[in-house]
Amino acid sequence: MDGRRRRRSGAVLSATTLTRQEERAAAKRRRARRGALIAAASTIAFFGIVIALVVTAPGWDEVKTTFLDWHDFKKALPDLLKGFWLDIKLFVIVECCVLVLALVLALIRSTRTPALFPLRLVSTVFTDVMRGLPVVLLVYTIGFGVPALSLHGLPTDPLVLGGIALALAYSGYVAEVFRSGISSVHPSQMAGALALGLTRAQAMRHVILPQAIRRVIPPLLNDFIALQKDVALVSFLGPIEAFRVAQIEASSNFIFTPIVGAGLLYLCVTIPMTRWVDHLQNKERRVRGVAEVSA
C-alpha cells in the first residue's frame, strides 16, 4: 500500500512518468500495432508470390484470353443468365420437395410404432441407397431410364426427371440431417411433453421438431448449397442451364470465359445464402436477448 502511494505521488510530481495503467495500455497498443503490421506484410507477400507465379507462367497469356476475356464474358452473359435462371427455378422447386420428403423420411425413422415397421424399413433402405449412389448416376438412370419404360403417365420432360433424381438423392442426405437433429433433443423434453398429456405426435410437432430444426439449420444449409451446385447435373439430360451454356461455348469456340462466368453466377447465389442464414440465427439470438432487457 505504501509503495502504491509513493508511485502515485511520484506520477504527480513528474508529468513524464507514466502510471502503471498507462504503461500497460501503451504496451497493448504497441503489440496490436505490431500484429497488424505482420498480418498485412505476410498477406501482401503471400498474394504477391501467388500472383507473380501465375502471371509469369508460360501459358498465362493463353489462359487470359481463353478464361478471362472481358469481351467474351459480356457476349456470353445474357445466355448464361437465362440458363442460370433455369438453375434457380429448378433449385427452389427441388429444395421444397427435398425438405418435405426428407422430413417425412426422418419422422418415419424416428417412430417406434410396430405398425410402421415396413415403412421404416423402406425409408432406411431408401436413405442408404440414395446416399450411397453418385448423384450423377441417379440423374442418368432416372433421366434416361424412366422414359425408356414408355409407361403412360410418367413424366418424360428431362427437366422434371432431372429434378426428381436430385430430389430423391438429396432427400437421403437431408433426412439424415433431420434425424440427427431429432435425436439430439434430450429425452427429458419428450418426457416433459408427454407428462403434460400430449400425444407423441403432438410432442414431436410442438416440442421436439421446432428445437431439432433450429439445431440443424447450418448443416441443412450446407446441403442446400451443394444442391444448388448439383443442379448443373441436369445438363447431362439436355436442358440448357448455365453450365450447359458455358460448355457449348467452350466446346465450339474453345472459349472458357463463360465457364468462369457461370462460376461467378453460382457464387452470387451461394455466398449471400450463407450470410442470410447466419443473419437469421443471429436475429434469433438477439430476440431472446431483448426479451431479457425489457423484462
Partner 1 sequence: MSEARVPVLEVSGVTKAYGDRQVLRGIDLAVAEHEAIALIGASGSGKSTLLRCIDLLEEIDDGDVFLDGEVITDPSVSPPGVRKRLGMVFQAFNLFPHMSVLDNVVLAPTRAHGAAKAEAADRARELLARFGLEGREHDYPDRLSGGQQQRVAIVRALATRPRALLLDEITSALDPELVGEVLSLVSDLKDGGMTMLIATHEMGFAREVADEVCFLHAGEIVERGSADKMFGEPEHPETQRFLRRLLDAGRL
**Contact residues: partner 1, CB under 8 A:** 188-189, 191-199, 202, 206-207, 210-211, 214, 288, 291-292, 294-295
Identity of the residue, 149 or 195, whose beta carbon is nearer to partner 1 in the bound complex: 195
SS3 of 105, please? Answer: helix
Identity of the residue, 115 or 148, whose beta carbon is nearer to partner 1 in the bound complex: 115
Question: Which amino acid does the sequence have at 195?
Answer: A
Say how many residues make up the chain.
295
108's CB contacts (< 8 A; 6+ apart) are 116, 119, 120, 123
Identity of the residue, 96 or 201, whose beta carbon is nearer to partner 1 in the bound complex: 201
d(CA 27, CA 15): 19
Nearest to 84 by CA among 229, 236, 213: 229
Vertex 251, ends 248 and 252: CA angle to 5°? 80
To partner 1, the closest distance from the beta carbon of 183 in angstroms equals 17
To partner 1, the closest distance from the beta carbon of 125 in angstroms equals 30
To partner 1, the closest distance from the beta carbon of 295 in angstroms equals 5
> If you compute the radius of gyration of the chain from its CA atoms, what whole number of angstroms results?
29
Nearest to 143 by CA among 168, 177, 125: 168
To partner 1, the closest distance from the beta carbon of 78 in angstroms equals 46
Cβ neighbourhood burial of 217 (10 Å; 0-12, 13-18, 19+): middle
For helices 60-67 and 257-294, give the axis angle rounded to 10 degrees.
Answer: 70
Identity of the residue, 183 or 274, whose beta carbon is nearer to partner 1 in the bound complex: 183
- Are 244 and 235 in contact by the 8 Å Cβ rule? The answer is yes
To partner 1, the closest distance from the beta carbon of 264 in angstroms equals 39
To partner 1, the closest distance from the beta carbon of 219 in angstroms equals 18
Identity of the residue, 105 or 207, whose beta carbon is nearer to partner 1 in the bound complex: 207
Identity of the residue, 217 or 260, whose beta carbon is nearer to partner 1 in the bound complex: 217
Identity of the residue, 178 or 243, whose beta carbon is nearer to partner 1 in the bound complex: 178
To partner 1, the closest distance from the beta carbon of 180 in angstroms equals 18
- Are 99 and 174 in contact by the 8 Å Cβ rule? The answer is yes
